[in-house]
Structures are given as structure tokens and as C-alpha cells.
Amino acid sequence: MQNFDYNIPTKVYFGKGQIEKLGEIKNYASRVLMVYGGGSIKRAGIYDQAVSVLRENGIEFFELSGVDPNPRLETVQLGKKLCLDKGLDGVLAIGGGSSIDCSKAIAAAVKYDGNVWDMTSDWSLMQDALPVFVVSTMAATGSEMDAYAVITNTETNEKKDLGGDPVIPKFSILDPKFTYSVPKFQTAAGAADIISHVFEVYFNRTPKAYLQKRMSEAVMKTVIKYGPIAVNDPKNYEARANLMWASSLAINGLLSNGCYLDWGIHPIEHELSAYFDVTHGAGLAVVMPAWMEHVLQDDTVEQFAEYAVNVWGVEAEGRDQYEVAREGIAKTRDFFVNDLGLPGTLHELNVPEDSLEMMAGNLNGVLTGTFVPMTTEDVLAIYKACY
Ligand code: NZQ
Ligand code: ZN
């Protein structure tokens, strides 16, 4: 296990009725920008509840609505302008990862004189940010408890992340009932995203991070148990609650502290979202099994066989490790397609076949330090295997 500093500073208010805690914004800010998406929070009654608590507590707010899934740089710039024009001192995200990420980028942009897009190439440019507060309405990205924001630049067709301590939410309100209205497809895509965050941590080259491995398996098994229940029974509190907490734990540092990591799967998906507006978790569900098959080799087979046994209960006694590993990968694909009902190919996600080479080319030199380093040819082979 490597050295690490443990610091997960987001205060979490988990459970029914926790929206009342929104008043705690007063401890940090008095005039906030409320950032949300296309209106699901209004339809689900979350907007009204939030507004009522803000008013009761005398917190002034201005609104930026219409944040797109795969949030865009121009929306971030609009939010920055609103904050500066109105003299706002905090950003409140109400929504899924897109609204939260957009809020984080706005919060950082306000404190930076240049174009916030610069930060996607140089994270050290983020020195300060307005405080960020979150009401999460989806179990997926874990953005409610992490330091990252992923933004799409539609001019250059790039989807890149920025990150830093200043944008870690001060607090996040996680009421599982707020996720009851998430549609089946988004629930399923969110479950796949949670699992992907664990994969990025679980498959690593750090020796003897035993505890992290076992905790990661617990999070994966939770999603495997409750993902399909939430898809088929959207108002099942137990399922929604377990997914919501799994979403945060998958990426908040708990599973990754002490491990050497350089994420290798997400960049392969981000190309799909950047060019074809693919839903992040749905793209990942297609890419992940193909990635696993591609990186299965003599120095990784033990980890994949361990995954098959511990997560999927595959029988290993007297069997070849490759056979065990391949059964685990097959079960993973089956889970995404048959249990969660997600598409199984890039073709179904409307990604044109003649774009595969170009997207693979964009990742030239990007995936060199990952679990298994990838050349352009490797990435292309994965895309082709997914088609
Ligand atoms: O537009 P609204 O009204 O918000 O509707 C959204 C959207 O249509 C809807 N939705 C959210 N909560 C709902 C709901 N519908 C009904 N009831 C509710 N309670 O679901 C749709 C998808 O929302 P979005 O916020 O886009 O989903 P998600 O949470 O999956 O976020 C995806 C974005 O996060 C990035 C992704 O790349 C993508 O851009 N990621 C952020 C990460 C991070 N910050 O750490 C890590 C992830 O790997 C990921 O890359
Ligand atoms: Zn993700």
C-alpha cells in the first residue's frame, strides 16, 4: 500500500427530509447561484422544497437552468458571468453529475481571470473557488463528494476534466427519495457508472492493498444487487439508498487512498460523449467488458480471476485462471445488458463506425500510465470489439 493523506471533507446529510439542512449555506454564503438541468427537479417537487428552505433561511438566490447532460463550457461561462454581475458568493447544484460538475466549474471560473477551459490542461490553475453546495438527485457520478468536474467543449469536440480541493462540495444532501423519479435508462446508466469508478480503482498495480480490494468488492456487489431492483421498482427506498451511498463511496477517495491509479477506461468513453453525446454510463457499459477482455493477459489474469470469484461467485476450484476470468467478464456484460437493460454495442448507441479510428487517434499518448498502457491500436481494437 502507498502512503496517503486521508481527507474527505464533504459533509454528507443522508436520508429522508435532509433538505432542511440546506439552510447551512448561511455558514458560507448569503447570495447563491442555483444551478440545475432541464426541469426534472421541478417535476419531482425538489425545486419547491429547496426554494422554501432557502427563503426560510433568508438566502438569496439566482437561477441558471437548462444545464445539458454532458455539461458545456458555454453554460459554465454564462454561470461565471451571472455570479460576477450579481456579486454572488456561492454555487448550489441541484441535480445529477452534470449540474454538479457545471456548478464546480462555475465556482472555479469565478476566481480565475482566464478561460476556465485552461484548467483542463493544467489543474494547478485552480487556486480558489466559490463554495459549492449540492443536492444530489441521481446515483451515478459521485461528483457530490469528489473534487472533479467534467466539461464538454463543443467547439473542439473535447470532453475533459478539471479538479482541485477548492471545488469539493462543502456539503451534499443525499435523499434517496429524490432519485425515485430517475428514469429506468438513467438509473441503469448510473449503476454502470458507479461500477466503472470501482473498476478504475480495483484493477491496479499496487501490491497488498487488500482492504481497498475488499471494500471495492462490497461496493460492486451492492450495485449488482440493487441496480436491477431500482430499475424495476423505482420507489424501492432500500435500493435507491444503497445505490446513492455506493455512488459517493465509489469515487470519494475511500477506495483509492493508498493505491497507484491512472484511470484508463473513462477516457475511452469520454470520446463517445464528446462527439456523439452518448450518456456517460451507457457508453461505459459497452466499453468496460471489451476493455476487460483486451487487457486480460498473463500479468493481469490473477486479478480478473479474483474479481470473478469474489464479485460474481464464479467457481475456481480446479479450473484454469483464464477460464475463470472470462466467465467473470461474461457475467459483467450480461449484467449490463440483461439485468440493467443497457445497450451492448456502440452501434446501438448510434456511434458511426467510420469515427472509431479518429476517436482512437485522439487518445494517442494519453493512456500510457494506466493499469495496462494503451496505444492507439489498442483503443481502436476495443472500439471495434464493441461495435
Ligand atoms: O436535466 P435534468 O432535469 O437534470 O435531468 C437529468 C438528465 O436528463 C435526469 N435526472 C437527474 N436527476 C433526476 C433526473 N430525472 C428525473 N428525476 C431525477 N431525480 O437524468 C439525466 C442525466 O442527468 P446527468 O446529470 O447528466 O447524469 P449523471 O449524474 O450521470 O452525470 C453525467 C455527467 O457527469 C460526468 C459525466 O461525464 C457526465 O458529463 N461525470 C462526472 C464525474 C465527476 N464529477 O466525478 C465522474 C464521472 O465519471 C463522470 O465522467
Ligand atoms: Zn464515470
Q: What is the mean pLDDT of the chain?
A: 97
Q: What is the mean pLDDT of residues 336-356?
A: 98
Helix axes 210-232, 184-202, angle to 10 degrees: 170
Q: What is the pLDDT of residue 189?
A: 98
Q: What does the domain layout of the chain look like in residue ranges? A: 11-178, 183-386
Task: Report which of residues 221 and 205 the model is more confident about.
Answer: 221
* 260 has pLDDT over 90: no
- Please identify every residue whose CB atom is under 5 Å from ligand 2, which is an ion: 193
pLDDT surpassing 90 at residue 237: yes
Give the residues surrounding ligand 1 with Cβ less than 6 Å away.
Answer: 37-40, 44, 69-70, 95-99, 101, 137-138, 140-143, 146, 148-150, 178-179, 181-182, 186, 190, 193, 251, 266, 273, 280-281
Q: Is the pLDDT of residue 207 over 90?
A: no
Residue 96 CA to ligand 1 centre (angstroms): 4
CATH for 183-386 is 1.20.1090.10
**Which ligand has an atom closest to residue 176 CA?**
1
pLDDT surpasses 90 at 126? yes
Q: Kindly tell me if the per-residue pLDDT of 208 is higher than 90.
A: no
Q: Which ligand minimizes its atom distance to the CA of 196?
A: 2
Cα–Cα distance measured from residue 35 to residue 197, given in angstroms and rounded to the nearest whole number: 25
Q: What mean pLDDT is predicted for residues 224-232?
A: 98
- What is the average per-residue pLDDT within 353-374? 95
Contact 367, 350 (CB under 8 A): no
pLDDT, position 262: 87
Comparing CA positions, the residue from 360, 214, 362, 368 lying closest to residue 290 is 360
Range 164-170 average pLDDT: 97
Please give the number of the atom of ligand 1 that sits closest to the Cα of 68. 1
DSSP 8-42: ---EEEESTTGGGGGGGGGGT-SEEEEE--SSHHH
Among residues 6, 49, 28, the alpha carbon closest in space to that of 132 is found at 28
User: 304 alpha carbon to ligand 1 midpoint, in Å?
Assistant: 29
Which residues have C-beta within 8 Å of that of residue 214, sequence separation ≥ 6?
none
Q: What is the mean pLDDT of residues 157-173?
A: 96
**318: CA distance to ligand 2 center in Å?**
36
Q: Which fold has domain 11-178?
A: Rossmann fold (3.40.50)
Q: Residue 294's pLDDT is what?
A: 98
